[in-house]
Structure 1
Amino acid sequence: MLKTRYVVASVSLLIVIFVAVMFFLPNFQIDKATKGNTYTESVFDQSKVTNVDITVDDEDLTSILENPTEKEIINADVTIDGETVKNVGFRTKGNLSLNSVVQMEDSDRYSWKIDFDYYQEDQDLHGLKKLALNNNYSDPTYMREYLSYTLMEKMGIATPGHSYMYVTINGKEWGLYLGVEAIEETFLDTHFSDGTGDLYYPDGTGSDLKWISDDIDDYTGMNLKTNDNSDQSALIKLLNVINNGGDLDEVMDVDEMLRYFAANTALVNLDHYQGDKKHNYYLYEENGIFSILPWDYNMSFGGYSVGGGGKGPVVGQETANEGEDKAVAQKDPASVNEDSSPAKAKLPEGAPNKNGGGDMSANFMNEDNINFSITEPVSGTTLEDRPLLNALLTNDEYREKYNEYLNDIAVDYFSEENMKAMTKEISTLITPFVEKDPTKFYSMDEYTEATSGEKTLVNFATQRADSILAQLSGDLVVEADTQSSMGSAAPNMEKENGAAMQPPNMGNGEGGAPIQPPNMGDGENGIAMQPPGMNRDLDSRGGINSSYSKETIILSSALLLLLFGAIAFAHSFRRRGRKG
């Protein structure tokens, strides 16, 4: 029989272990990105172009190519760099880009979506559940979306994994795509301390975040993507505060929002909340605090022109639930996602194809885009009609911080040295794949001109940086373009004395005094890329993560029960020993 001293020693050891675990566990929280989910490195390896081979039934493929706007989900096997996942969901995705490709007589280069867990709920690829394959529509450089997500990462924004992928379907080359992680539960678990909050994809009634009422049913376009049974009271509180007044810090991660809008404004990304369509963003609420998440940047760098996108085709403003993908919803309501569009929607008759005169990328370096207002950073609407942004920028303290982040972007990320280095690295990686891409929207001459000619993303960024710095200094005043009709008006530029002012010198100081950026310290290649106070070890609200996660609470509870059980056993053992 066990001796009492052994039992006492065992219980004492359990107590020591329990205390140690409770004391040290918060300091040894396993990073969500590495806790069984390695896809950020294994799937989205940015040092190479990943091979994605998709195998589907020939009849199923014919069906979705003949009816792409129905977004029919078919069964597929997907092999990514030699690793095969069988029995996954596969369909077309997109809205404007999808319908634009539909109008092309010579192209089936659709964007695609892969749902690894569509047929088997527990199936994934290194933790990744859903993968978007974006077709780089209206982007002869193949770089707009990639560079935009990179900026968001540099600004400390939770950003989906992304890398270049070369796609084949049934052995046929489909071309060079950008693979992007879907924003859903796995993404939230990777980037946030808890990851179980309410996720929204606003698109439709209420997506401008204007106050309607305290009845959540009136906000039909907010599109809750997680927690179907949530009462969404936190969203109503957010809407009330930003529209009717209150403490913004109680309902949102203010600093994260400021970094996000500074980056989006610098990128002149207007197919977005800041534009006339008021979509292409996510809101995520955790413990009552909202963050904003980036999505869909193929129209950044001025690709969707100032003035409501007047330089490109317009399908029409969606209302209420028109954006819901009914064809997909009938099969699986949970699979309706951010890229939904009315089945069989068509562009207007005569809409431009890939090289038509209405190419949305053609005039990206026009004066309106370069000098897009940082003071009233909206297009096709007014700042008052975008209450989330308005609430932030009407606060002097927050406006000053927003301006600081814009300054950081202008002198760091958008510097000629940095942009040249990044675009050269990307070009070296992808050019061989662009050359062999049989479905590309642009010729190799157009790709070469877009990446090394007079109108490149490098030139856009450097000129945009000069304009941002001139606006910050007060040397350039630009009014927002609130037009929502076709076409766009030139910004109103004048000095404080009312005299007309020419746009700032966009060169290296020739013909005018150069704008000298402040010394931002030593970062990569001499550039300090991380904004002040940004630290990837911080939690989603910018502070050190000292809270206990759900996993910590469960583990601690189990240890506590075990401890109580051991004490009870020891007490019972000692009583039995005395009776003997």
Structure 2
Amino acid sequence: MISVNILMEVDDWAELLEHAIDETYYACDVEVNGTTFYNVGIRPKGNTSLTAIANDPNTDRYSFKLEFDHYTEGGNCFGLDKLILNNQYADATNMKEAIVYDMYQYLDTDASLYNYAKVSVNGEYWGVYLALEAVEESFLLRNYGTNTGELYKPEGMGMGGGRKKENITVPNERGFQEDTKEGSEPVQIERKEMTPPASFDENMPPAPEKNGENNAFDFMPKNGMQNGAPPSMGGSGADLRYTDDDLNSYETIWEGAVTDSGEKDHKTVIQALKQIDSGEHPDSCMDVENLLKYMAVHTFSVNLDSLSGNMAHNYYLYESEGVLNILPWDYNLAFGGMSVGKTSSASETIHFPIDTPFSGTTFFDGLLEDETYRAVYHKYLKQLAKEYVSNGRFDTVYYRIRSQIDSLVETDPTAFYSYEEYDAGAEMLKKTVALRAESITGQLEGTIPSTKEGQSESENLLFDTSDIDLKTMGEFQMGEGAGDNFSMETRKRPNTQNGRSTEDMGSHAAENLRNAACYLIFLLAVLAGILRFRRKRL
């Protein structure tokens, strides 16, 4: 657990909240575990959740991005250039993301460091958040030891996510950063040599010792509408499908550039996608080992707000010397928290098929179809089901988290859910993870079908999941069937901070108006994506 105290002028803080949808940076000072960092950039962040909260008069609980190098060249927080504070929107358990990132850590996958943060504003408790290492320069340096690769964050929903590269800095022996001047020799550091900030590992279970081994349901058609659900939002390259050699066909990828990439870099990405599409020698253009680990954790977690569903976003694409890698992001809607067109069923989540897990992309098809790679992928799934869950790692993490945040959730002044709802959601998550591991074990052993088609033909082989209520863990609905619950199904606590009275803001009329506005925004985003995709094709 870390403590984060945001120090700002009261008027600036109020203005930041009032205009959160603009995602404008403001200057502040930040105390992290008692150490003060000056002149830090802060802004609200998010996609659909940002819009939903901005249109909700009952809450100002935004996620935030802290940029320690936004105003101060080389600024950092114990070696991190950026820190994300996630509000855990639509997650009554307050721990879905933490559990998923711990799974990534367990398999030694390239993924962000994480810990919980007690967030205060000018010394007043604001809420318990999940602190995440941003996937930017310091992340690349820690994981790859160099900044020569290119990083992209495609947003298939047309909501941006990239930024231009700023001055690059590298950690010195004290854990702080020194400038790398333009034209100077790049600093060469071996992969993962950078020591993670101690505060991110504090009180969290240690990484497992290695044992010597190598370490959406697509009920919608690929095009068109079904059950009121939108078509795939992977146009202009976000779904990582190779279509042709035209740079404009992958515009969404380039728009999400995090590093300062150019036309030559973009052609390298297209060439890699073309090679992947051919199915020949995937090891020459894919970081196969890391991707197989990513696939295992991502499939276990059943996050349909991603390439597993029809949302081509919530991932980072990293390219280095023509080799592509996927880096994970955004798991607050994991374990059935995202439903498109209808409420997710417990059975669909628990028995999510391990051999047909990606309906929003063909990027992983070659790995799944290759017997050797599929066997390694299955081995990682077995590690998660047998070692991580059945052998006690999950229980250790679960109870450690609860000991850290229970009291903070109970007194959280901006919480989306009551303590009772959190407690029920957390217990339901514990049951869900255990049953998910049981289903994966059955799919690996052949007693449960491991493909969508096989499960459809042999539903009698799926064990009963009637004890699981996904809504108890929090749910976000989009499309027909969402109705008044489009934004988020929860009973929010009134927010009276900053002098805002909300006693008369929760009327039925206001609720309907807000949800209608959110739904309209979503439909407009879909329409804009479709029109842009069609223009590129003409």
TM-score of the aligned structures, taking structure 1 as reference length: 0.63
Distance 1:388 1:241 in 2: 11
- Cα distance change, pair 476–302 in 1 and its aligned pair in 2 (3 A): same
1:501 aligns with 2:465: no
1:183 aligns with 2:147: no
Distance 2:392 2:105 in 1: 19
C-alpha RMSD of matched pairs (Å)? 2.1
Q: Is the 8 A contact 1:203 1:279 kept in 2?
A: yes
- Cα distance change, pair 446–493 in 1 and its aligned pair in 2 (3 A): farther
Distance 2:304 2:465 in 1: 22
1:221 aligns with 2:252: yes
Distance 1:156 1:420 in 2: 19
Q: Is the 8 A contact 2:303 2:334 kept in 1?
A: yes
1:447 aligns with 2:422: yes
- Cα distance change, pair 505–274 in 1 and its aligned pair in 2 (3 A): closer
Distance 2:399 2:369 in 1: 39
Distance 1:447 1:245 in 2: 45
1:492 maps to which residue? 456
For 1:39-188, list aligned pairs within 5 A: 49-188=1-140
Measured after TM superposition, the shift of residue 444 of structure 1 is 1.1
Larger Rg belongs to: 1
Measured after TM superposition, the shift of residue 212 of structure 1 is 2.6
1:473 maps to which residue? 445
1:242 maps to which residue? 276
* Residue-pair matches, total: 384
Secondary structure at the counterpart of residue 131 of structure 1: strand
Q: Aligned AA for 1:271?
A: D
Distance 1:396 1:419 in 2: 29
1:435 aligns with 2:410: yes
1:412 maps to which residue? 387
Measured after TM superposition, the shift of residue 60 of structure 1 is 2.0
Secondary structure at the counterpart of residue 251 of structure 2: coil
Q: Aligned AA for 2:240?
A: L
Secondary structure at the counterpart of residue 221 of structure 1: helix
Distance 2:103 2:147 in 1: 23
Distance 1:247 1:112 in 2: 41
Measured after TM superposition, the shift of residue 442 of structure 1 is 0.9
The one-character-per-residue Cα deviations of 1:395-453 (angstroms, maximum 9, x if unpaired) are 1221222122212211122227332222111101111211221111111111122223x
The one-character-per-residue Cα deviations of 1:22-62 (angstroms, maximum 9, x if unpaired) are xxxxxxxxxxxxxxxxxxxxxxxxxxx21111122222222
1:298 aligns with 2:332: yes
- Cα distance change, pair 240–153 in 1 and its aligned pair in 2 (3 A): same
Measured after TM superposition, the shift of residue 100 of structure 1 is 2.2
Q: Is the 8 A contact 2:447 2:461 kept in 1?
A: no
TM-score of the aligned structures, taking structure 2 as reference length: 0.68
For 1:290-369, list aligned pairs within 5 A: 290-305=324-339, 308=340, 310-311=342-343, 366-369=346-349
Distance 1:506 1:184 in 2: 40
Distance 1:254 1:472 in 2: 21
Larger displacement relative to structure 2 (223-232 or 119-128): 223-232
Distance 1:107 1:416 in 2: 40
Q: Is the 8 A contact 1:415 1:461 kept in 2?
A: no
Measured after TM superposition, the shift of residue 172 of structure 1 is 3.0
Distance 2:394 2:134 in 1: 27
1:462 aligns with 2:434: yes
- Cα distance change, pair 106–65 in 1 and its aligned pair in 2 (3 A): same
Distance 1:268 1:416 in 2: 21
Measured after TM superposition, the shift of residue 84 of structure 1 is 0.9
Secondary structure at the counterpart of residue 187 of structure 1: helix
Q: Aligned AA for 1:281?
A: Y
- Percentage of matched positions with identical amino acids: 36
- Cα distance change, pair 283–309 in 1 and its aligned pair in 2 (3 A): farther
Distance 1:211 1:118 in 2: 35
Secondary structure at the counterpart of residue 27 of structure 2: strand
Distance 1:397 1:117 in 2: 44
2:205 maps to which residue? none
Measured after TM superposition, the shift of residue 178 of structure 1 is 0.6
Q: Aligned AA for 1:64?
A: L
Distance 1:196 1:273 in 2: 26
1:197 aligns with 2:149: yes
Q: Aligned AA for 2:241?
A: K
Q: Aligned AA for 1:492?
A: S
The one-character-per-residue Cα deviations of 1:229-262 (angstroms, maximum 9, x if unpaired) are 4612321121101213321111111121111101
Contiguous gaps of at least 5 residues in structure 1: 1-48, 312-362, 482-489, 495-499, 508-580
Q: Is the 8 A contact 2:346 2:465 kept in 1?
A: no
Measured after TM superposition, the shift of residue 65 of structure 1 is 1.6
Distance 1:99 1:183 in 2: 22
Secondary structure at the counterpart of residue 72 of structure 1: coil
The one-character-per-residue Cα deviations of 1:370-400 (angstroms, maximum 9, x if unpaired) are 111112113xx4xxx6121112112122122
